Amino acid sequence: MRIGVLALQGAFREHLQALVSLGIEGVAVRLPQHLRGIAGLIVPGGESTTIGKLAASYDLLPAIRDLAKAGKPIWGTCAGLVFLAREIVGYECQPRLGLLDIKVRRNAFGSQVNSFETWLSIPVLNKVALPEEHGQPFPCVFIRAPLIEAVGEGVEVLARLDGLGIVAAQQGPFLVTAFHPELTRDRRFHRYFVSLVLDNLRGPLPR
What is the sign of the dihedral through the CA atoms of 143, 149, 155 and 161?
positive
**Active-site residue flag, 140:** no
The neighbouring-strand residues paired with 176 are 76, 169
Cβ partners under 8 Å of residue 183, min gap 6: 11, 14, 141
Instruction: State the catalytic residue, choosing from 14, 15, 140, 182.
Output: 182
Q: Are strands 165-171 and 174-177 parallel, antiparallel or unpaired?
A: antiparallel
**Active-site residue flag, 180:** yes
The neighbouring-strand residues paired with 87 are 103
Of 179, 169, 174, give the one whose Cα is nearest residue 193.
174
Instruction: State the catalytic residue, choosing from 15, 34, 78, 190.
Output: 78
The neighbouring-strand residues paired with 139 are 119
Cα angle vertex 27, ends 7, 42, to 5°? Answer: 60
Residue 139 and residue 129 in contact, taking contact as beta carbons nearer than 8 Å: no
Query: Catalytic site residues?
Result: 78, 180, 182
